[in-house]
Amino acid sequence: MSIVVLLRAVSDPELAGGIRGSSYRLDAPSEDAIALGLSLRSCSPAPMRGVAIGPPEWEMPLRDAVSLGLDEVERLWGPSAAAGDIVAHARLLACALSADARAVIAGGVATDHGSGLIPFALAELLGWPVIERTIDAGIEGADLVVRALAGGGRRTTYRMPGRAVLVAASGRALPYPTVARKLAARRAAVLAVTPPAGQAAEPAFTFEGFGPARPVTRHLLRPSTASGAGGRLRHLMAGGATPSGQARGAMAADASVATQLADLLDREGLLD
């Protein structure tokens, strides 16, 4: 039995020019996945392998993953991996899994520009169940027992006889690696694998260009009848929007506030 952790690195400008020699670091969801993997391994010793789809610049953060507790790491990269297609990535990962893999653990976002779709596509290809927002995992007898967050603050515990794809919930703390472990990890080998060209499919889409962030408004508030004329005017001039960082759209409390807030929570899926 082995545990596979999906890893992803992100560029961090603060690391550029530093002594690490890499401006990439593991992203937070990958650290969540490692922490969950360590929790699973603590109750059932098993080799833990990291797999990433990324360029050679990711090798330093992958060694960081080794210092955090992974036994080995593998990096997949080639023309078929560089396209960023979710299904193609899932197929590559499915091929890279060893036959004895008991659980695949991913962070909240996956390797494809942070879409978070890879774990589901991978589960579909493997025919395994997938559990989102996992907070704890262990082995009881021959079964995998998993505790996950559900809506309305509920905790659900699942038991399954077979294998599963687990998506780690955020916020689990990782143990800080010792200096000796960090130094040893610096010399760890990262297995680089180029997927065979035959696995490359025709592109699903092409990137035509990039642009600035799109301003998005999640909620529109009606101007309050309780506010003064000036306040209502400011609210209307802000389009009723209350984007982060701007208090222009602040509304004064009146009888409709509770209704509007409850509508907002309902739309965000926060009311059970």
| Residues 74-103 close enough to bind another protein by CB under 8 A | 85-87, 90
Binding flag, residue 176, another protein (CB under 8 A): no
Q: Which stretch binds another protein (CB under 8 A): 30-38, 63-71, 177-185, 210-218?
A: 210-218
Of the pair 45, 230, the CB lying nearest another protein is at 230
* Closest CB 178 distance from another protein, rounded Å: 24
Instruction: Decide: is 162 part of the binding site for another protein (CB under 8 A).
Output: yes
Distance CA 51, CA 9 (A): 11
Binding status of residue 21 toward another protein by CB under 8 A:
no
What DSSP element (H or E) covers 76?
strand 72-76
| Contacting residue, 154, 179, 187, 229, with another protein by CB under 8 A | 154
DSSP track, 126-192:
HT--EEEEEEEEEEETTEEEEEEE-GGG-EEEEEESS-EEEEEPS-PPPPPPPHHHHHHHHT--EEE
Residue in the structure block whose two tokens are 């025919």: 127
How far is 238 from 227, CA to CA, in rounded Å?
A: 15
Decide whether 156 or 194 has the Cβ nearer to another protein: 156
Cβ nearer to another protein, comparing 42 with 115: 115
Nearer to another protein, 45 or 211 (CB): 211
242: contact with another protein by CB under 8 A:
yes
Mark the segment that binds another protein (CB under 8 A) among 52-60, 71-79, 163-171, 190-198.
163-171
Contact status: 264 vs another protein (CB under 8 A): yes
If binding is defined by CB under 8 A, does position 212 make contact with another protein?
A: yes
CB of 247 to another protein, least distance (A): 4
Which among 154, 137, 155, 133 has a CA at the least distance from the CA of 146?
Answer: 137
Nearest to 84 by CA among 200, 5, 214: 200
Using the rule CB under 8 A, is 218 a contact of another protein?
Answer: yes
DSSP conformational letter for 104: E
Measured CA distances, 225 to 231, 252, 259 (Å): 10, 8, 14
With respect to another protein, which residue has the nearer C-beta, 156 or 178? 156
Dig out the tokens for 263 from the structure. Answer: 């509508």
List of residues 6+ apart from 18 with CB closer than 8 A: none
209 binds another protein (CB under 8 A): yes
Q: Which CB, 73 or 128, lies closer to another protein?
A: 128
